[in-house]
Amino acid sequence: MINLNFVFPEIFISLSLMFLLMLGVFKKNSSVIIYNLSIISLIITLALILNRPIDKDIYLFMDAYKIDYLSNFMKILTVLSAILVMFASKKYIQSLNIFNIEYPVLLLSSIVGMMVMISSNDLIVFYMGLELQSLSLYVLASYNRDNLLSSESGVKYFVLSALSSGLLLYGCSLIYGFTGSTNFDFIMNNLNNNNYILSSGIVFVLVGLAFKISAVPFHMWAPDVYQGSPTSVTSFFAILPKIAALAVFIRFLYVPFIYVVDQWQTIIVFLSIASMLFGAIAAIGQKNLKRLVAYSSIGHMGYALAGLAVNSNEGIKSSVLYITIYVFMNLGFFCCLFMLKKNDKYYENIDDLSGISKNHPFLSFCFLIILFSLAGIPPLAGFFAKFYIFMAVIESSMYYLAIIGLISTVIAAFYYLRIIKIIYFDPEKIKYDKEHNIGLQFCLIISAIFILFYFTYPSWLNEIVSKISII
């Protein structure tokens, strides 16, 4: 008898998304209600996950679905950030005239996909979750269909992502062919170390996953998609899929292939170094803030991967901490972007920020701490994120990785400083609207407080994360 209690959050959110879709079809002009109801259903989902403390790992559906501390933590992070993103972006969607019933429903379905991904303990379940997530995101990317850039980004994302999904699936089939199972635990126990075709299977899957978190050299889609999509979708892109993909990364590398570390470690190290350096250097020349976020998130994923490359529990924990802090920083950044509004027009170029410190002291102060935090300057939260990563990296004596990471921090600091310079040192250009809805302000304040005061009591997050044990 399968105990469905443990997948109740997933079941609840799937049912509520179907119900909301039905409601939307049969009730006219119900987009506001559906948007609010989907936020409420996400809050209930969050409560359901939080409601069930995990003492031991639970396997469901013939071991294809695993619920443990890591998956719970990542799900909480996913749902929480989804709630905050939806709060923050409501006004934006309304003013862009894309406030339809499908929008929240698609968001919910991609969240279901992510939750499946996070918990998957089997290649097929993992692929299913990934595709559910991606298909919803393809539609969302081109949601503002009257906009040329938006449609382009949707098509681009779809084509490239389909290619990477194909590679990933091919990798899965190779792994299945040479181990005889799709189950992670089974693969772990029946692994032949000297099988080169199996390693190419691992490589194919890693390529697919690297594509999803936009690690260099599989990052080409990110800047265009980030820029073209509506900002609300970009904020979603920049935060949620990364959490899910990182969880899968951890699961995929450290459960089935834990005994063949030498086969994949170099790949991860390369991905990490390339992403850190490329993200830092390529962002310098950007003019569009959303494009800049794309490059900066490429860089940040490089740091998260550095934590994964070290092959230790410390490394995994540091990556999870990194992604947690990253979520709050990016959320804050996008909240600031949503505030750059004047007469229902949203501004997204770096030059549009010129001198906003004069008329918008609070907004520019938030920008300031978020940017310094993204640059990793102590005592803000971003510093701790990097600190944990480097602790783990140096523990396993990978000094070159640490040194390259820190040098790219300095390079990256330059473009963050450039934005601060434009905000604080340049003459003012545009006066933006000062009134914003409460949800947006709430999200910005939450993330600003998190970033600013993280250092006063950093061990609480540490303690939560320290219960994760994969190896």
Partner 1 sequence: MDYPILSSLILLPSIGALFIFFTKSDLNEARSSKYIALFVSFLNLFLSLYLWYLFDQSISIFQFVENREWLGFINYKVGIDGISILFVILTTFITPLCIVSVNNTIKNKLKEFLIAILLMETLMIGVFCSLDLVIFYLFFEGGLIPMFLIIGIWGGERRVYSAFKFFLYTLLGSVLMLIAIISIYWINGTTDVTELYKLGIDSKYQNLLWLAFFSSFAVKTPMWPVHTWLPDAHVEAPTAGSVLLAAILLKMAGYGFIRFSLGLFPIASDFFVPLIYSLSLIAIIYTSLVALMQEDMKKLIAYSSVAHMGFVTLGIFTFTKQGIEGSIFQMLSHGLISAALFLCVGVIYDRMHTRLINDYGGLVSVMPKYAVLLMIFTLGAIGLPGTSGFVGEFLILIGAFKKSFIVASIASLGIILAAAYMLWLYKRVIFGSIKRDDLKKILDLNKSEIFILSSLTIPILFFGFYPEPIINTIEVSVADLIDYCNSKMLEQKK
Task: Please give the residue ranges that form the binding site for partner 1 (CB under 8 A).
Answer: 361, 372, 377-379, 383, 387, 390-391, 394-395, 399, 402-403, 406-407, 409-410, 413-414, 417, 420-421, 424-425, 455, 458-459, 462-463, 466
Q: Which is nearer to partner 1, 217 or 361 (CB)?
A: 361
Residues 6+ apart with CB under 8 A from 467: 69
Cβ proximity to partner 1, 333 vs 383, nearer residue:
383
Does residue 20 contact residue 104 with C-beta atoms inside 8 Å? yes
State how far the Cα of 152 lies from the Cα of 114, in Å rounded to an integer: 24
* Between 48 and 417, CB nearer to partner 1: 417
Question: Alpha helices, DSSP H only, in 283-347?
Answer: 289-309, 313-339
218 token code pair = 């599989």
Neighbours of 48 (CB within 10 A): 17
CB of 412 to partner 1, least distance (A): 10
User: For residues 317 and 312, what is the distance between their CA atoms, to the nearest angstrom?
Assistant: 9
Cβ distance to partner 1 smaller for residue 97 or 462: 462
Q: Tokens representing 364?
A: 């520019």
Closest distance to partner 1 from the beta carbon of 336 (Å): 18
CB 208 to partner 1: min, Å: 33
Peptide bond into 241 cis (omega under 30): no
Q: How far is the CB of 334 from partner 1 (least distance, A)?
A: 22
Handedness of CA 262, 268, 269, 274 (dihedral sign): positive
The residue (of 323 and 461) whose beta carbon lies closer to partner 1 is 461
Q: Give min distance, CB of 450 to partner 1, in A.
A: 17
- What is the signed CA dihedral for 180, 256, 246, 466, rounded to 10 degrees? 150
**Least spacing, CB of residue 397 vs partner 1, in Å:** 8
Number of other CB atoms surrounding residue 331 within 10 Å? 26
Q: CB 313 → partner 1: shortest distance, Å?
A: 14
Nearer to partner 1, 312 or 447 (CB): 312
- For residue 433, what is the DSSP state? P
Nearer to partner 1, 132 or 423 (CB): 423
Secondary structure (3-state) at 458 = coil
Helix/strand/coil for 288: strand
Residue 200: is it exposed, middle or buried by C-beta count within 10 angstroms (0-12/13-18/19+)?
A: middle
Quote the CA–CA distance of 74 and 65 in Å, as a whole number. 15
Please state the closest distance from residue 343 (CB atom) to partner 1, in A. Answer: 26
Query: Which lies closer to partner 1 via its Cβ, residue 458 or residue 470?
Result: 458
**Minimum CB distance to partner 1 smaller for 12 or for 379:** 379
Query: Shortest approach of partner 1 to residue 97 CB, angstroms?
Result: 38
CA-based nearest residue to 337, from 77, 38, 91: 91
Question: DSSP secondary-structure letter at 158?
Answer: H
Which is nearer to partner 1, 47 or 407 (by Cβ)? 407
Query: From the CB of 424, what's the least distance to partner 1, in Å?
Result: 5
Amino acid at site 151: S
Contact 42, 13 (CB under 8 A): yes
Beta bridge partners of 122: 183
Quote the DSSP letter at residue 183. Answer: B
What tokens does 67 get? 């619920």
Tokens of 318: 């540091």
Closest separation in Å from C-beta 403 to partner 1: 7
Residue 58 or residue 413: which is nearer to partner 1 going by CB?
A: 413
- Nearest residue to 326 (alpha-carbon basis) of 243, 395, 245: 243
For residue 422, give the nearest of 368, 341, 366, 375 by alpha carbon. Answer: 368
Residue position matching structure tokens 């997948």: 7
Q: Kindly tell me the burial class for residue 56, based on how many C-beta atoms sit within 10 Å of its own C-beta (0-12, 13-18, 19 or more).
A: exposed
Minimum CB distance to partner 1 smaller for 151 or for 458: 458
Q: Residue 372 CB, nearest distance to partner 1 (Å)?
A: 6
